[in-house]
Amino acid sequence: MMEYKGYFAKVEFDDEANIFHGEVINLRDVITFEGESVDELRKAFTDSVEDYLEFCAERGEDPEKPYSGKFLVRVGPELHKTLVIQARKNGKSLNTWVNDTLLKVVKDRTH
């Protein structure tokens, strides 16, 4: 995984073509890049992100932000009820409880 200015890229190696290729994964817009070496790949990645930001500026558009901090999760009614009850038992809003629970899960898995 590569990161530049908050944009994250997934990289794969094509053995037949003997080339690395990557794609920014935290945008709806498509940003791709490639290189024959790690240095070329890293340069192509940063250049592609910079080109994207420049293109947006030229068009007078704000670049898409990698993450807004919001996402919609659909669950069944019974699970929704259970989550609300758990949140209230802990004296929290559903949003705060879910956020805290997700943080705990992520921390537990990264340690």
Task: Yes or no: say if 45 and 33 are a contact pair by the CB < 8 Å rule.
Answer: yes
Band of residue 65 on the pLDDT scale cut at 50, 70, 90:
confident
Q: What is the mean pLDDT of the chain?
A: 93
Which is higher by pLDDT, 52 or 111? 52
Helix axes 77-89, 94-110, angle to 10 degrees: 90
Residue 53 has pLDDT above 80, yes or no: yes
pLDDT of residue 101: 94
Residue 111 has pLDDT above 90, yes or no: no
Cα(19)–Cα(79) distance, rounded to whole angstroms? 46
Residue 22 has pLDDT above 90, yes or no: yes
Which helix (H) or strand (E) segment is 53 a member of?
helix 38-58
* 82-110 pLDDT, tens digit each: 999 999 999 999 999 999 999 999 998 87
Cα(35)–Cα(22) distance, rounded to whole angstroms? 9
In the chain, alpha helices (H): 38-58, 77-89, 94-110
Cα(29)–Cα(65) distance, rounded to whole angstroms? 10
Mean pLDDT over 22-27 rounds to 93
Running DSSP on this structure, what letter comes out for residue 6? T
Residue type, 82: T
Residue 68 has pLDDT above 80, yes or no: no
Running DSSP on this structure, what letter comes out for residue 57? H
Mean pLDDT over 51-58 rounds to 95
